[in-house]
Chains A and B, each alone.
Chain A
């Protein structure tokens, strides 16, 4: 079945350093969404990417969708302690309503 993997599983960074998480799908996606989940919380929608090669920015966050629509990345510039949490990608394949979530990357930011 369809799988969505994320790397790395964990990442510890010093405050001010950059951070990147990568998402890879075993199948071509129609779109991909990114979520952030704080410890003890629920996933919060960050962004949706639909077009091949699409790049979107939200302040210090940059999201990219691969040309083949099978991979995506989230890059955070100059991390802050408020960036702590687990970042999930969730992919949708054409003809379905079922988002497949990635394995997540847990980010810790050391002050």
Chain B
């Protein structure tokens, strides 16, 4: 049973560039949430996708966008990268998301460095 997978594991970009990060949820899961974790801080919620639609969004600018595909995998896109976007980007999956019941399973993350 495959867990949550993310690609790439590491990425180096320069300011102004665009980046796409990918996530495959745990087998059988249909909901994907994306988090940004800066060094030494807790994960910050970016957005959540369910049934190919963004169901909720955190306090992140429109430069952050996403997509969910029919097979439940998801992408996170960040445009016009800033130095402050350097962080660990985590994907978490869950099943038929019922917040009072469901566990989130986190992937290993993508470490993004913006120079």
Contacts and interface: CB of A to CB of B under 8 A. Distances in A.
Interface in B51-92: 55-56, 58-59, 88, 90
Given A30-B99, A97-B55, A42 B42 contact: no
Nearest to A43: B106
Main DSSP-derived SS at the B contact region: loop
Given A31-B99, A96-B99, A97-B56, A42 B107 contact: yes
Contacts of B99: 30-31, 92, 96-97
Contacts of B45: 98-101
Interface centre among A41, A43, A96 (most CB of B within 10 A): A43
Contacts of A99: 33, 45, 104
Interface residues of A, number: 24
A99 B48 CA distance: 10
Interface residues of B, number: 25
A97 B101 CA distance: 12
Main DSSP-derived SS at the A contact region: loop
Interface stretch (A11-19, A44-52, A74-82): A44-52
15 contacts: A30-B99, A30-B100, A35-B106, A42-B90, A45-B105, A48-B103, A90-B42, A97-B48, A98-B45, A98-B48, A99-B33, A99-B45, A99-B104, A101-B45, A102-B42
Which 7 interchain pairs have the tightest Cβ spacing? A101-B42, A97-B56, A42-B106, A98-B45, A101-B43, A43-B106, A92-B99
Given A42-B107, A96-B99, 16 more contacts: A30-B99, A31-B99, A31-B100, A33-B103, A33-B104, A41-B108, A42-B90, A43-B90, A45-B103, A48-B103, A88-B43, A96-B56, A98-B48, A100-B45, A101-B43, A103-B41
Interface of A: 1, 30-31, 33, 35, 41-45, 48, 50, 88, 90, 92, 96-104
Interface of B: 33, 35, 41-45, 48, 55-56, 58-59, 88, 90, 97, 99-101, 103-109
